[in-house]
Amino acid sequence: MTQALTQALVRVTFALLARLPLPLNHALGAFLGWCTWILPTRMRRISLANLERCYPQTPSRWRRQVARRSLMETGKALTEAPWLWRAGPRRIRGLLCQGEGEDHLTAALAQGRGAFFVSPHLGSWEFAGLHATGFGPMTSLYRPPRLQALDAPLRAARQATGAHLVPTDRSGIRRIRQALAQGGIVGLLPDQTPKGGGGVFVPFFGQPTLTMTLLPRLAGPRRIPVVFAFAERLPRGRGYRYHCVPAPQALYDPDPHTAAAAMNRAVETLVRRCPEQYVWSYRRFAARPPQPPA
């Protein structure tokens, strides 16, 4: 009964957020993020620690400013998701103010081998994925949230937009291969910490970071086209600016360390364009490489 009540509350919250005008929705999200900054929260502490690792040469004042803005943008990502899920294709297209490199995705799909659409936790990854579905059907790996009551509402909301969610297991990998064989798009988050033994330690902003090898393993043998992208969130709910870049050739290297390092460099390239919209509060460096014997 508790789970049913929580799910009902989540659905009501989603519906209310979807009804707000986007500028007001973003203002609410920014306020929630600002609260996590002014209070001694874990998210604030992790954001500052990660920025110090990744930008050690920058002034502490700059890192604090980026951390604060990052938390506010993370708040917007939280509140805008239900709005975007119910916006519909026409409104989604109307929110694209400028695009850069969309021809990379068009050219990738024209090869007829499917394509990977890779978007990190940067800007509005929900908008980036929804906009990409305008190019064709999309299949995405889905990892259930830690709070079980959120699972059903999230699945219902994302699948209502036409996304095909598949689990992060062998059955999901099989369905991804099928989608690629049919010339479809596969959406993937490249900066999630992999579970189990599906990762290697390679540099990310100069730090040894546990990084997924799934993308190189799936794309490499048939050289499936890979496009890295993110949607920059414009101020005051004015819309989004798209950024797309093709994958580096080293991503297709058979050595998993070389390929994973190339993937991280591509993510770094996008993050450096808009560091204040990256989710620095994510515990990307929580796993550490094994230490050699004393």
Residue keyed to tokens 């604090």: 64
CA-to-CA distance for 8 and 168, rounded, in angstroms?
Answer: 26
Lowest model confidence (mean pLDDT) among 73-82, 88-97, 267-276, 284-293? 284-293
Whether the pLDDT of residue 222 is over 70: the answer is: yes
**Average pLDDT of 182-191?**
91
**Average pLDDT of 95-115?**
81
- Report the percent of the chain where pLDDT is more than 70: 95
* Average pLDDT of the chain, as a whole number: 89
User: Do 210 and 201 meet the contact criterion of CB atoms below 8 Å apart?
Assistant: yes
Q: φ, ψ for residue 91 (rounded to 5)?
A: -70, -35
Structure confidence at residue 111 as a pLDDT band (50, 70, 90): confident
Query: What pLDDT shows up at residue 226?
Result: 94
**Average pLDDT of 113-138?**
89
pLDDT tens digits for range 152-162 = 777 777 776 66
Query: What pLDDT shows up at residue 64?
Result: 98
CA-to-CA distance for 238 and 242, rounded, in angstroms?
Answer: 13
Query: What pLDDT shows up at residue 186?
Result: 92
Whether the pLDDT of residue 246 is over 70: the answer is: yes
pLDDT tens digits for range 49-66 = 999 999 999 999 999 999
Range list of β-strands (E), the chain: 96-100, 115-118, 138-142, 164-167, 185-188, 199-204, 207-212, 226-233, 240-246
Query: What pLDDT shows up at residue 292?
Result: 62
Structure confidence at residue 48 as a pLDDT band (50, 70, 90): very high
Please, which residues bridge with residue 233 across strands? 240
DSSP class of 123: B
pTM of the predicted protein model: 0.91
Reduce the DSSP state of residue 60 to 3 states and report it.
Answer: helix
Whether the pLDDT of residue 293 is over 70: the answer is: no
